[in-house]
Structure 1
């Protein structure tokens, strides 16, 4: 089994393979992944990492495998006013639900994992819920510094992380 030695935000050339992962699989310290071509690769980092859609995994032989975020059953929440959206966001946060924030009008859109009880609560708070299948990449939270990168890969500086360089 080949080992992952680095996580890079940009690869060069064509990847040798792709690995499709859901949110939980993209947030690990150690796990065996199976690529689309059926190869097994080992993630074994000193601390948990947060893999994002489009990241490249450098293998010990120099080959590159691209990460694709897998679609999951989610609910997209919208509201007709900023006030409704703020109230909905407060109630979701009060329940410590992982939430993904998307820009848009009237406070934007929030994505959460599919949950009919929460959908009923959101409707009661003036929100609209639409089921979607999409990649889930929720906010890391105020304490993410010790878990994964602690920042988004989609910034301007080009960098990669190896097992000895993962920072948080």
Structure 2
């Protein structure tokens, strides 16, 4: 089984050395050690020194050389729009529940949860089911939005 020992952020690894791709959900992209299957059907062991949040286009360096490119999987999400509530107010209530949230210019994305959807509607928000990649904010204690803090040696 191939082993990926180091994660490199998008744009910092040589694309010419790409040896495959792996499509992962948001939860799968925040791991240290996990058995995966590449999009080409080959087993792969993710074996990092510490857990990192992998993003779209990041590269996993393989023991034998080469890289596997990370792709963000499409997931069942809820797109939340303000309606009569105001987007900042909805974001406050969602954040108060410690939910991972992806901020868009005019909407919020969260993982599908019917209880939270009902709460948002009760607050005057509009909710629509979507299936798209999920890349929520890293949070204040995860180094902010500067992706360079995701990797130990860069």
Structure 1 length normalisation: TM-score? 0.80
Partner of 1:94: 96
Distance 1:101 1:72 in 2: 16
Distance 1:14 1:47 in 2: 24
Distance 1:150 1:90, change over 3 A: closer
Distance 1:4 1:125 in 2: 45
Distance 1:92 1:19 in 2: 30
| Structure 1 residue ranges (4+ consecutive) displaced by more than 6 angstroms after TM superposition | none
Distance 2:86 2:145 in 1: 29
Partner of 2:7: 7
**Structure 1 stretches of 5 or more lacking a match?**
154-159
Partner of 2:33: 30
How far is 1:15 from its partner? Answer: 2.3
Question: Pick from 119, 130, 141: which aligns with 1:132?
Answer: 130
Alignment size in residue pairs: 150
Distance 2:145 2:90 in 1: 26
**Structure 2 stretches of 5 or more lacking a match?**
none
Structure 2 length normalisation: TM-score? 0.86
